[in-house]
Amino acid sequence: MIDDVLPTVPIFRYSGSLTTPPCTEGVKWHVAVSQEGVSKAEVYSYKFALETVENFRPVQSLNNRTVTKQTPVLPSFGTW
């Protein structure tokens, strides 16, 4: 049960900013490394949204930010 919602893959963490205006800084990003499938309809939806709205900015340089990697260790709850 709990194992279904906790990440078991590495998580990268860093301080950054929002990717949409006003591009506020001080955002704590937590990026889990996993691969999820998406449908063609979802791909086209995202593609359409990104092509029609210019409210995002390009990838920024690291600018001396530290990126850390943490691999979660799940506690053992025993068997039921």
7 compared with 73, residue with greater pLDDT: 73
Prior bond of 10 cis (ω within 30°): no
- Asked if residue 41 lies in contact with residue 49, where contact means CB atoms within 8 angstroms, the answer is no
Give tens-digit pLDDT for 11-33. Answer: 888 888 888 778 888 999 888 77
Angular region, 20: left φ>0, alpha ψ -120 to 50, beta rest: beta
**pTM for this prediction:** 0.49
Give tens-digit pLDDT for 24-64. Answer: 889 998 887 776 778 899 888 878 877 766 666 777 888 88
